[in-house]
């Protein structure tokens, strides 16, 4: 009679693979993919600011920079379905390589509408990596290092706008114009910038092909033999140079759940409905409201920041102004200043949002890079303060509120710019809010509540980008005062979050 083979729980089998070269390389690749998403998404705002030959108006800039967020809204569920049915690795391969091709294609767009349309489809691909990357990494690493690795790649995501700015500066300083007669356009530095910003996506799409599919996904799909082969390969790579045997010949997934067959529409309804019924209704609305304010403030202003900073820099250099806050420098109601002053010329041009420089000032780049490096570091520090997460979140939101109110009261522009950057610090609360979804909701609802939070966040970003573009250049002081009040309402909402000592671990 054949000897019965004892099955090993999946998590125990994963623990036997250890933590080594395979995991480190996967972390680096995952970080590169997240960095690619941020660089491509934020860098597009820099591209729009430099695309002078397309004659883009302020309203059109708002539409262009917000179109990618619509793409994220429309396809998030679709990519979630593909990830859960075809695999994490498959989703990343298709999404990153598709995004790279479409981004490169957008570099030869003949008008702003075509540019926005191609970019829209590009982001429809790349947005898959926003959640799938975390899933693949989490399901391929042992419990001891899982949270640490996720934190590290999040820091890279926060750093991505600074990297985008760093790449943009030297690219836009190039001087060339290559005519493409067939399309009736000139290939200029801003078009080259689109291709350069897409390169990390292409590299990430190729790099992920060298890794295995998530072993947990394979086990959950009933492919235990394939999952076992993946685990053996991971063990061999992580323990190369040793004679240690893997020692697992059969495994099973502890938390596999059998689901009743139902239509996709019915399944989505049954998964999301409990979030909007007592007892979770109040908590859901509370957290979504805070998320809405956080993303509305940070992401919306971050997209317009290079453009605003460029106008400030031009106003300072041309008028030699040393007094007044940031609003007095970008408001279209201000007096005109000379852009080209010579002995024989007295022409003047107003500093308005319609001005297109075709490049990004070095001071703007320094400010952006410095701010994102600081935010990335602070995000790492905050990870060690999670015992006091409610107090930390309240402090972040309150600091943003105060900064928004003070930036219009400063007597000179430098301090006003400092408060403008501090006003965007709401991004430091993103990780804290994500932790509340884990702690305050049952396991059966966590995936859905997190998915819907991304949709809420991107919706508020889309609205915010267009509001900022249409108001901040014409009613600057009023906009920031009202905006500060709105942020303060999130402070009030956060005050009613559960006290830290009552949060269950």
The structural domain count of the chain equals 2
Helix ranges (H only) for 107-142 are: 112-126, 129-140
Inter-CA distances, 83 with 86, 88, 89, 93, Å: 6, 5, 8, 11
**Pairing status of strand 178-180 against strand 185-187:** antiparallel
Alpha carbons 401 and 424: distance in angstroms, whole number: 10
Q: 472 in a domain, yes or no?
A: yes
Judgement on whether residues 359 and 214 belong to the same structural domain of the protein:
no
Do residues 234 and 318 share a domain? no
Which of 220, 244, 268 corresponds to the end of one domain? 244
Question: What's the whole-number mean pLDDT along residues 423-428?
Answer: 82
Nearest residue to 216 via CA among 127, 146, 125, 128: 146
Q: Does residue 180 sit in the same domain as residue 293? A: no
Which pair of tokens denotes residue 183? 């399309």
* Cβ contacts of 185-193, under 8 Å, gap ≥ 24: 185/53, 185/108, 185/110, 186/53, 187/107, 187/108, 188/53, 189/50, 189/358, 190/47, 190/50, 190/51, 190/52, 190/358, 191/107, 191/108, 192/107, 193/43, 193/46, 193/47, 193/50, 193/167, 193/168
Token code pair at residue 286: 């509370």
pLDDT mean over 46-72: 78
Note whether 295 and 240 are same-domain residues: no
Which residues share a beta bridge with 8? 251
CATH code, domain with 289:
1.20.1250
Least confident of 14-28, 109-123, 403-417, 473-487: 403-417
Give phi and psi for 264, each to the nearest 5.
-60, -40
Assign residue 115 the CATH number of its domain: 1.20.1250.20
CA dihedral (330, 336, 342, 346) in degrees, to 10, reads 160
| Residue 352 placed within a domain | yes
How large is the average pLDDT for residues 169-181? 85
pLDDT in tens, 213-236: 888 888 877 888 888 888 888 888
Percent of the chain beyond pLDDT 70? 77
Residues 180 and 306 grouped into a single domain: no
pLDDT, tens digit, 9 for 90 and up, residues 287-331: 889 988 988 888 777 767 766 776 666 666 665 555 567 777 666
The predicted structure's pLDDT at residue 337: 36
From 219, 244, 269, give the residue that closes a domain.
Answer: 244
Any domain includes 270: no
In a domain, 255, yes or no: no
Q: Does residue 264 fall inside a structural domain?
A: no
Is the bond preceding 204 in cis, omega lying within 30 degrees of 0? no
* 3 state DSSP class of 13: helix
Most confident of 44-48, 70-74, 331-335: 44-48
Inside any domain, residue 261: no
Q: Are residues 76 and 195 in the same domain?
A: yes
Which is it for the CA torsion 62, 68, 72, 75, positive or negative? positive
Task: Tell me if residue 345 falls in helix, strand or coil.
Answer: strand
| Domain co-membership, 210 together with 295 | no
Residues 351-366: pLDDT tens digits? 455 556 666 666 667 7
Q: What is the pLDDT of residues 195-211, one digit of tens each?
A: 999 999 999 999 999 99
Out of 244, 262, 289, pick the residue that ends a domain. Answer: 244
Q: Are 300 and 496 in contact (CB under 8 A)?
A: no
User: In the prediction, which pLDDT does 344 show?
Assistant: 35
Residues 232 and 301 in one domain: no
* pTM score over 0.95: no
Name the residue range of residue 405's domain: 279-500
CB 357 within 8 A of CB 400: no
In a shared domain, residues 87 and 158: yes
- Are 170 and 24 part of one and the same domain? yes
Q: Is 252 part of any domain?
A: no
**Residue 422, H or E segment:** helix 413-423
Give the burial string for 65-86 (b: 16+ CB within 10 Å, else e): bbbbbbbbbebbeebbebbbee
Q: What is the mean pLDDT of residues 71-78?
A: 75
If asked whether residues 192 and 93 sit together in one domain, one would say: yes
The answer to whether residues 238 and 294 belong to one domain is: no
What are the residues whose beta carbons fall under 8 Å from the beta carbon of 435, sequence distance 6 or more? Answer: 386, 389
Average the pLDDT over 160-167 and give the result: 85
Identify each DSSP E strand in 207-335 by its residue range. 251-252
pLDDT category at 133 given cuts 50, 70, 90 is confident
DSSP 59-97: HHHHHHHHHHHHHHHHHHHHHHHHHHHH-HHHHHHHHHH
Residue 103 lies in a domain: yes
Report the pLDDT value the prediction gives residue 488, as an integer from 0 to 100: 93
97, 205 in Cβ contact below 8 A? yes
Coil, strand, or helix at residue 9? strand
Which pLDDT value is given to residue 317? Answer: 66
């Amino acid at each position: 009679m054949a000897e019965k083979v004892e099955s090993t729980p999946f998590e125990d089998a994963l623990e036997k693979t250890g933590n080594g070269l395979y995991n480190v390389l996967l972390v680096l690749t995952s970080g590169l993919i997240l960095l690619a998403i941020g660089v491509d998404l934020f860098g597009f705002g820099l591209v729009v600011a430099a695309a002078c030959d397309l004659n883009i108006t302020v309203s059109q800039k708002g539409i262009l920079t917000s179109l990618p967020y619509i793409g994220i809204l429309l396809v998030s569920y679709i990519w979630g379905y593909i990830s859960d049915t075809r695999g994490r690795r498959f989703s990343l391969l298709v999404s990153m390589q598709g995004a790279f091709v479409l981004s490169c294609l957008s570099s030869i767009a003949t008008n702003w509408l075509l540019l926005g349309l191609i970019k829209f489809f590009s982001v429809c691909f790349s947005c898959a990596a926003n959640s799938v990357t975390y899933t693949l990494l989490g399901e391929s690493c042992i419990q001891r290092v899982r949270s640490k690795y996720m934190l590290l790649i999040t820091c890279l995501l926060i750093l991505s706008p600074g990297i985008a700015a760093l790449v943009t500066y030297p690219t836009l300083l190039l001087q060339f114009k290559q005519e493409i007669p067939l399309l009736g356009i000139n290939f200029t530095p801003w078009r080259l910038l689109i291709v350069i910003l897409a390169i990390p996506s292409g590299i990430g799409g190729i790099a992920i092909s060298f890794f295995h599919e998530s072993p947990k996904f394979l086990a959950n799909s009933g492919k235990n033999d394939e999952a076992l082969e993946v685990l053996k390969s991971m063990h061999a790579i992580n323990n190369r140079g040793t004679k240690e045997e893997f020692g697992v010949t059969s495994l099973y997934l502890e938390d596999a759940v059998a689901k009743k067959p139902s239509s996709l529409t019915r399944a989505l309804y049954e998964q999301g409905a409990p979030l909007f019924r007592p007892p979770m209704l109040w908590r859901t609305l509370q957290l979504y409201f805070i998320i809405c304010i956080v993303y509305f403030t940070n992401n919306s202003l971050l997209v317009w920041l290079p453009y605003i900073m460029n106008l400030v820099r031009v106003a300072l250099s041309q008028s030699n102004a040393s007094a007044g806050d940031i609003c007095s420098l970008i408001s279209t109601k201000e007096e005109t200043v000379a852009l080209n002053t010579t002995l024989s010329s007295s022409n003047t041009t107003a500093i308005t949002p319609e001005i297109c420089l075709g490049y990004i000032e070095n001071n703007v780049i320094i400010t952006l890079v410095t701010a994102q490096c600081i935010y990335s570091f602070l995000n790492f520090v905050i990870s060690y303060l999670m015992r006091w997460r409610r107090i930390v979140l309240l402090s972040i939101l309150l600091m943003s509120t105060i900064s928004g109110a003070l930036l219009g009261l400063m007597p000179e522009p430098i301090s006003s710019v400092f408060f403008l950057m501090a006003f965007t610090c709401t991004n430091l609360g993103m990780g804290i809010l994500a932790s509340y979804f884990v702690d305050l909701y049952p396991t059966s609802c966590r995936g859905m509540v997190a998915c819907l939070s991304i949709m809420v966040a991107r919706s508020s970003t889309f609205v915010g980008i267009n509001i900022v573009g249409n108001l901040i250049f014409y009613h600057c002081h009023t906009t920031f005062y009202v905006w500060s009040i709105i942020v303060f309402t999130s402070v009030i909402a956060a005050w009613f979050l559960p006290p830290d000592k009552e949060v269950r671990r």
